């Protein structure tokens, strides 16, 4: 082979090894090219492994000339213990020097196995990957008792180095893939953890909210309890004044008492429905949120003489989102307004809740005219445990939790600002944006 053609081939092999993205294919190509340029009969790679403290070696790749038998399936060349048979070769290769031999000069023990493969002359060059002895690349001549020239050895050593380089970069790639996989897994674990935390947060907040729930029930029950007690009293009065009590009277008493009791138990069912949180998105229409709010707070707001006005711009389309959780959030913001009204002496008390679908977001505005929030505490509002109420019994979702639910669980945004009229602060406005999926209902 011409020298420049020879060098060109070597160059191609080196380039392939450098840029490969399929290592075993490139190694097979390399072995065949080396075979072609050196004119040997077999080119192969053995890889070491350690078992019970002994270094074994196994054939992993092989190229053979046309008529030469392949040895890749030869079981004797798998997990071969060097030291038992090829002590000399083992010593040389493990010391990072090559091993060359004319087979007929070997002692019998070593010779037999190699003669079975028809080898006349052999050259083995060690491969070190990441400074560890990986194995070796070997060349068999099955026809001539070839003496390997220094040029041969230099070129083959260079190729062995290039193969080692390709193996090293493959190892890096695999480590990187593993690292990435681990990273991805880690991210998944962390995301799940934080999702679990959000769910937990909501569950926990349920307990905090029990107080609020009870207070709402108390408001709701005030009237039916009143009616019940009037009914019972009139009955007792009749009895005490020795008036005759007919079975009709008893029937009427039972009827009106049952009416109130049914209403009371209905209240609990309604409340329970809206307090149910499954942390799952569901399909709903905006008016369902409004119905929920009215069901839960009307009685209470009536008792405080606070007017609640709910508006929505889209009654027909369905959206996919966290309905009950949103109701809870709005409810707790209404409770904040209620507290501000109670604290300050405001005459016309009004809360407005506005629901709007804007692009892929549900925009919720809760506005009150309860006097706004002091500038001094504006930047503490979302801190955990922050409150200006000394009677704060922790019965509601505070702004810290609301922010966490909106921004972490629902991936939305919440802001609070004061609203002014003629430059005077007169109230608070909370704005919430949460992503939703909107389903159009054709008219």
Ligand X SMILES: Nc1ncnc2c1ncn2[C@@H]1O[C@H](COP(=O)(O)OP(=O)(O)O)[C@@H](O)[C@H]1O
Q: Return residues touching ligand X (CB under 6 A).
A: 336-337, 339-340, 368, 370, 373, 381, 386-389, 392, 396, 398-399, 428
Q: Is 58 exposed, middle or buried (0-12, 13-18, 19+ CB in 10 A)?
A: middle
Q: At residue 83, what are phi and psi to the nearest 5 degrees?
A: -60, -35
Signed CA dihedral, 131, 136, 137, 143: sign only? positive
Q: Report the nearest approach of ligand X to the CB of residue 319 (Å).
A: 26
- Compare residues 127 and 333 and give the one whose CB is closer to ligand X: 333
Q: Is position 428 an interface residue for Mg ion (rule: CB under 5 A)?
A: no
Q: Report the nearest approach of ligand X to the CB of residue 194 (Å).
A: 21
- Compare residues 267 and 396 and give the one whose CB is closer to Mg ion: 396
Instruction: Select the span of 120-128, 204-212, 329-337, 361-369 touching Mg ion (CB under 5 A).
Output: 329-337
β pairing state of 282-285 and 318-321: antiparallel
Q: Report the nearest approach of ligand X to the CB of residue 172 (Å).
A: 51
> By CB under 5 A, how many residues form the interface with Mg ion?
2
- Compare residues 42 and 367 and give the one whose CB is closer to ligand X: 367
User: Which of 378, 362, 365 shows the shortest CA–CA distance to 412?
Assistant: 362
- Compare residues 279 and 388 and give the one whose CB is closer to ligand X: 388
Instruction: Show the site string, 285-324: x = touches Mg ion by CB under 5 A, - = not.
Output: ----------------------------------------
Rounded CA-CA distance 39/414 in Å is 76
Looking up tokens 């007919």 gives 246
Q: Report the nearest approach of ligand X to the CB of residue 389 (Å).
A: 4
- Compare residues 323 and 338 and give the one whose CB is closer to Mg ion: 338
Answer with the entry of ligand X, Mg ion, none that 340 interacts with (C-beta below 5 to 8 A by kind): ligand X
Answer with the entry of Mg ion, ligand X, none that 386 interacts with (C-beta below 5 to 8 A by kind): ligand X
- Compare residues 13 and 340 and give the one whose CB is closer to ligand X: 340
Q: Which residues contact 202 (CB under 8 A, 6 or more apart)?
A: 277, 279, 325, 405, 409
Q: Where are the alpha helices (DSSP H) in 308-437?
A: 323-343, 399-404
- Compare residues 157 and 208 and give the one whose CB is closer to Mg ion: 208
Signed CA dihedral, 201, 202, 207, 209: sign only? positive
- Compare residues 11 and 386 and give the one whose CB is closer to Mg ion: 386
Rounded CA-CA distance 17/162 in Å is 7
Answer with the entry of ligand X, Mg ion, none that 373 interacts with (C-beta below 5 to 8 A by kind): ligand X
Give the single-character DSSP code of 390: T
Q: Report the nearest approach of ligand X to the CB of residue 282 (Å).
A: 26
How is residue 334 written in tokens?
Answer: 């209404």
Q: Report the nearest approach of Mg ion to the CB of residue 239 (Å).
A: 48
Q: How far is CA 92 from CA 76, 147, 365, 378, in A?
A: 21, 18, 81, 78
Q: Report the nearest approach of ligand X to the CB of residue 390 (Å).
A: 10
CB atoms within 10 A of CB 411: 10
User: Which of 164, 211, 163, 173 shows the shortest CA–CA distance to 391?
Assistant: 211
Answer with the entry of Mg ion, ligand X, none that 182 interacts with (C-beta below 5 to 8 A by kind): none
Q: Yes or no: say if 368 and 351 are a contact pair by the CB < 8 Å rule.
A: yes
How is residue 52 written in tokens?
Answer: 């019970």
How is residue 309 written in tokens?
Answer: 């006005």
User: Which of 410, 408, 402, 417 shows the shortest CA–CA distance to 433?
Assistant: 410
Q: Which of residues 364-403 bind Mg ion (CB under 5 A)?
A: 396
Q: Report the nearest approach of ligand X to the CB of residue 341 (Å).
A: 8
Q: Is position 336 an interface residue for Mg ion (rule: CB under 5 A)?
A: yes
Rounded CA-CA distance 420/439 in Å is 36
Instruction: Select the span of 273-281, 309-317, 335-343, 410-418 touching Mg ion (CB under 5 A).
Output: 335-343
Answer with the entry of ligand X, Mg ion, none that 429 interacts with (C-beta below 5 to 8 A by kind): none
Answer with the entry of ligand X, Mg ion, none that 428 interacts with (C-beta below 5 to 8 A by kind): ligand X
- Compare residues 324 and 337 and give the one whose CB is closer to ligand X: 337
- Compare residues 48 and 337 and give the one whose CB is closer to ligand X: 337
Answer with the entry of Mg ion, ligand X, none that 41 interacts with (C-beta below 5 to 8 A by kind): none
Q: Report the nearest approach of Mg ion to the CB of residue 402 (Å).
A: 8
Answer with the entry of ligand X, Mg ion, none that 55 interacts with (C-beta below 5 to 8 A by kind): none
- Compare residues 168 and 339 and give the one whose CB is closer to ligand X: 339
Q: Yes or no: say if 434 and 406 are a contact pair by the CB < 8 Å rule.
A: yes
Q: Which residues contact 308 (CB under 8 A, 6 or more apart)?
A: 293, 294, 297, 298, 301, 334, 350, 351, 353
Rounded CA-CA distance 361/324 in Å is 17
Residues found near Mg ion in the complex (CB under 5 A)? 336, 396
């Amino acid at each position: 082979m011409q020298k420049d053609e020879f060098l060109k081939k070597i160059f191609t092999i080196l380039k392939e090894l450098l840029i490969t993205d399929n290592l075993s294919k490139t190694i097979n190509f390399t072995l065949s090219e080396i075979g072609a340029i050196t004119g040997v009969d077999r080119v192969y790679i053995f890889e070491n492994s350690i078992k019970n403290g002994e270094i074994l070696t196994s054939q992993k790749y092989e190229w053979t000339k046309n008529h030469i038998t392949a040895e890749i399936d030869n079981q004797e060349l798998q997990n071969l213990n060097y030291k038992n048979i090829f002590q000399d070769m083992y010593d040389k290769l493990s010391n990072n020097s090559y091993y060359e031999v004319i087979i007929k000069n070997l002692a019998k023990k070593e010779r037999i196995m190699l003669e079975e493969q028809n080898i006349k002359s052999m050259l083995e060059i060690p491969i070190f990957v990441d400074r560890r002895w990986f194995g070796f690349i070997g060349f068999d001549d099955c026809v001539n008792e070839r003496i390997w020239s220094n040029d041969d050895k230099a070129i083959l050593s260079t190729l062995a180095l290039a193969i080692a380089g390709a193996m090293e970069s493959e190892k890096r790639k695999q480590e990187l893939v593993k690292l990435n996989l681990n990273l991805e897994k880690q991210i998944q674990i962390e995301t799940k953890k934080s999702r679990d935390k959000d769910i937990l947060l909501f569950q926990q907040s349920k307990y905090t909210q029990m107080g609020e729930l009870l207070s709402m029930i108390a408001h709701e029950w005030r009237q039916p309890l009143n009616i019940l007690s009037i009914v019972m009293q009139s009955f007792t009065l009749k009895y005490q004044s020795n008036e005759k009590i007919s079975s009709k009277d008893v029937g009427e008493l039972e009827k009106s008492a049952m009416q109130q009791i049914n209403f009371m138990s209905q209240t609990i069912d309604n409340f329970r429905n809206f307090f149910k949180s499954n942390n799952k998105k569901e399909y709903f229409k905006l008016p369902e949120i409004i119905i929920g709010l009215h069901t839960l707070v009307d009685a209470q707001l009536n008792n405080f003489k606070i007017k609640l006005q709910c508006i929505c711009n889209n009654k027909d389309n369905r959206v996919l989102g966290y309905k009950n959780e949103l109701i809870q959030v709005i409810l707790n913001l209404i409770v904040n307004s209620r507290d501000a009204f109670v604290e300050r002496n405001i005459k016309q008390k009004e809360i407005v809740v506005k629901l709007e679908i804007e692009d892929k977001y549900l925009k919720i505005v809760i506005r009150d005219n309860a006097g706004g929030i002091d500038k001094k505490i504006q930047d503490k509002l979302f801190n955990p445990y922050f409150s200006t109420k000394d009677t704060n019994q922790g019965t509601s979702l505070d702004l810290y939790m609301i922010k966490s639910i909106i921004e972490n669980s629902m991936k939305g945004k919440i802001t609070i600002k004061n609203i002014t009229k003629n430059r005077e602060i007169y109230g608070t406005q909370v704005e919430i944006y949460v992503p939703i999926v909107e389903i159009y209902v054709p008219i």
